[in-house]
């Protein structure tokens, strides 16, 4: 019986958080960051794959010694991943985490009711 009461409180708490304006704002901010950056990264990645398949002359062009364009592009894939992760971390700290902390506090308050 008490387990049902706990589940009922948790369900109400989740619903209260879901209905909160801050939750909708958090989702909007998250999507506004993730969608464009995902598209940008996937475009960059697919360009790399396409160049490796269809622009072999360009990709095999030696830049310095045995280092060619393909190797540089491959390394830049790693670099771009870490750069995007760092940008996301800063963005989340500034724009997402304050809203998430408030929603977490709201959830905990609602759960105690």
Query: Is 61:69 a contact under the CB 8 Å cutoff?
Result: yes
- Dump pLDDT digits (tens) for 18-71: 999 999 999 999 999 999 999 999 999 999 999 999 999 999 999 999 999 999
> Can you give the residue range of the structural domain that contains 8?
2-112
Q: Which residues pair with 79 in a beta bridge?
A: none
In this prediction, residue 20 carries a pLDDT of 94
Secondary structure of the chain in HEC code, one letter for each residue: CHHHHHHHHHHHHHHHHHHCHHHHHHHHHHHHHHHHHHHHHHHHHHHHHHHHHHCHHHHCCEEECCEEHHHHHHHHHHHHHHHHHHHHHHHHHHHHHHHHHHHHHHHHHHHHC
Query: Is 101:8 a contact under the CB 8 Å cutoff?
Result: no
Torsion of CA 91, 103, 26, 92, to 10 degrees: 10
In this prediction, residue 1 carries a pLDDT of 62
pTM of the model: 0.85
Query: Is 9:113 a contact under the CB 8 Å cutoff?
Result: yes
- Dump pLDDT digits (tens) for 5-17: 888 888 888 999 9
Q: Looking at the 3D structure of the chain, how many domains does it have?
A: 1
């Amino acid at each position: 019986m008490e387990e049902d009461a706990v589940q009922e409180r948790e369900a109400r708490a989740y619903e209260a958080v879901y209905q909160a304006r801050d939750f909708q704002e958090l989702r909007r901010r998250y999507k506004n960051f993730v969608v464009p950056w995902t598209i940008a990264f996937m475009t960059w990645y697919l360009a790399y794959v396409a160049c490796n398949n269809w622009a072999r002359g360009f990709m095999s062009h030696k830049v310095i010694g045995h280092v060619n364009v393909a190797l540089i592009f491959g390394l830049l894939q790693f670099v771009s991943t870490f750069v995007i992760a760092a940008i996301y971390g800063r963005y989340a700290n500034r724009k997402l985490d304050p809203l998430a902390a408030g929603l977490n506090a709201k959830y905990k308050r609602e759960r105690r009711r």
